[in-house]
Structure 1
Amino acid sequence: MSLLNFLLALLCFIGLGAALGGMLGWASRAFKVESDPRVDELEAMLPGGQCGQCGEPGCRQAAEAMVAGQLPPTCCPPGGNSLASGIASLLGVELGETGDDTQWVAYIEESQCSGCTRCFKACPFDAIVGATKQMHTVISDVCTGCRLCEKACPQNCLEMRPVADAPHTWQWPKPNVA
């Protein structure tokens, strides 16, 4: 008798699970919210660090605000001017004056670093490596120059420096049109 009760209970749970799964699948299709495909494209273009420097809590919200016209294409400091021009061309808006084209990278004066890990925790791009009570350093190829680590450093041993031109990153200057 106990084996029969066990099998009956097992079949009931399997049936209940299949019915609930089917209802959830139907509900996901019936109540799907269609979104603007440009939002998905913009979100894929953005750095994805959720740094909040644009004034939005995340890159998805920033992409939605840009498509709605509430944020300009230049609102993402870590993306720089190249990202701003890509966003402007995708949205079909005029970029206007972008200002300074200097790219920044964080630099830690390692002899002054106490290893408090505040900069490490503040970096949304995992560009800072180090351990607690050990010196930290910046992986310059990963750093986007978002400046969140600079604000978090209590020892003031972290500063932002312009990215030095290297043979693989140097570009010809744009000609002056008279």
Structure 2
Amino acid sequence: MIFVSILILFLLGAGIGALLGWASKALKVEGDPRVDELEAMLPGGQCGQCGEAGCRQAAEAMVAGRLAPSCCPPGGNALASSIASFLGVELDSNSSSIPVVAYIDEANCSGCTRCFKACPFDAIVGASKQMHTVISQVCTGCRLCEKACSQGCLSMQEQAEQLNTWQWPKPKIA
């Protein structure tokens, strides 16, 4: 009796496994591999500044041609140019945005941790009821922390030129 029960369960499991294996091959949805590669290039903070819900949806819209390569403010000009070359499109010459980073006025910060919780990149460090500070190398300038700060002690400032962010200025046409 036990042997028959074990045999029935084994055959039932094998049958369901075979059915699931067939369904995974027969009902497979083919996706565009460029979307996966483009999603890997994006910052991954799901900040929504591009107008899409997240980086996956932004990558799908860029591949479809609904979004420009320069739609991601946290990525900056370097990401925009690499996305444009990846997709084989021209980068809009008006898209030169100045990179910004968050700055906390530490004299007015009460340590409410709202900015700390809002940052998807973990660029803000601090503890509850203590002063917070921003790690400028990690900050992408997505402005989510600025919206979350209820005390107005957080502002966005232009990012200081560093060796890895400096670009040769373009010549001016006379």
**TM-score when scaled to structure 1?**
0.85
With 18-27 and 110-119 compared, the bigger mean Cα shift is at 18-27
> CA offsets, 1:80-129, max 9 Å, x none?
12211222222222222234431111111222212222111211111112
With 129-138 and 69-78 compared, the bigger mean Cα shift is at 129-138
User: Aligned with 2:107: secondary structure?
Assistant: helix
Partner of 1:154: 150
Counterpart-to-counterpart distance in 2, 1:140 and 1:54: 22
With 106-115 and 15-24 compared, the bigger mean Cα shift is at 15-24
Counterpart residue type for residue 49 of structure 1? G
User: Aligned with 1:146: secondary structure?
Assistant: coil
RMSD after superposition: 2.1
Counterpart-to-counterpart distance in 2, 1:163 and 1:28: 49
Aligned length: 174
Counterpart-to-counterpart distance in 1, 2:106 and 2:11: 62
Contact 2:70 2:95 in 1 (8 A): no
Shift of 1:15: 4.3
Contact 1:81 1:98 in 2 (8 A): no
Shift of 1:71: 1.2
Counterpart residue type for residue 74 of structure 1? S
Counterpart-to-counterpart distance in 2, 1:24 and 1:147: 45
Structure 1: tracts of 5 or more residues without a match = none
Partner of 1:26: 22
Structure 2: tracts of 5 or more residues without a match = none
**TM-score when scaled to structure 2?**
0.87
Shift of 1:14: 4.6
Would you say 1:46 and 2:42 are equivalent positions?
A: yes
Counterpart-to-counterpart distance in 2, 1:127 and 1:106: 9
Partner of 1:109: 105
> CA offsets, 1:36-85, max 9 Å, x none?
12211211111111111111111111111111111111211111122112
Partner of 1:66: 62
User: Aligned with 1:75: secondary structure?
Assistant: coil
